[in-house]
Amino acid sequence: MSRTPWWRHPGVALLIDVVLVVVFAAVGRASHDETNPVVGALATAWPFLVGTALGWIVVRAMRRTWPVDLAPGVTVWFATVLVGMVLRRAVGSGTAVSFVVVASVVLAAFLLGWRAVGAYAARRSPART
């Protein structure tokens, strides 16, 4: 009987996504001179976290699976960027083209990258019986 890798458990995978979205926001805010960088990072992260949650919900509803693999991860990434930018625009935060491009690339690297590494590692590991 094969054991599911730890990162494929839905709760762990969701936590990884949430942490990576917050890291994206924190790194992006690091260059700003703020009195409270934690609040700044969370203010930047929340629209993207809403998008991440909606991406998870869409995958679960449409595919009847959890988005722990690369293909459904694309939906999570797309929803994270799209909803994040729409919400930022709605509240008057920046959505400059350069920010959209950087956010899209970084979030793709983060949200798809860990899934790709996990899939690669799973293929490389010997099958357990």
Smallest CA-to-CA distance from 115 within 85, 77, 87, 79 is with 77
pLDDT at 7: 81
Residue 129 above 50 pLDDT? no
Q: Domain residue spans in the chain?
A: 6-124
What is the reported pLDDT for 10?
A: 95
Do 84 and 48 touch, CB atoms closer than 8 A? yes
State the Cα–Cα distance between residues 81 and 113, nearest whole angstrom.
15
Burial of 50 (0-12, 13-18, 19+ CB in 10 A): middle
The predicted model scores a pTM of 0.89
Is pLDDT of 74 > 90?
Answer: yes
> How many Å apart are CA 25 and CA 41, to the nearest integer?
5
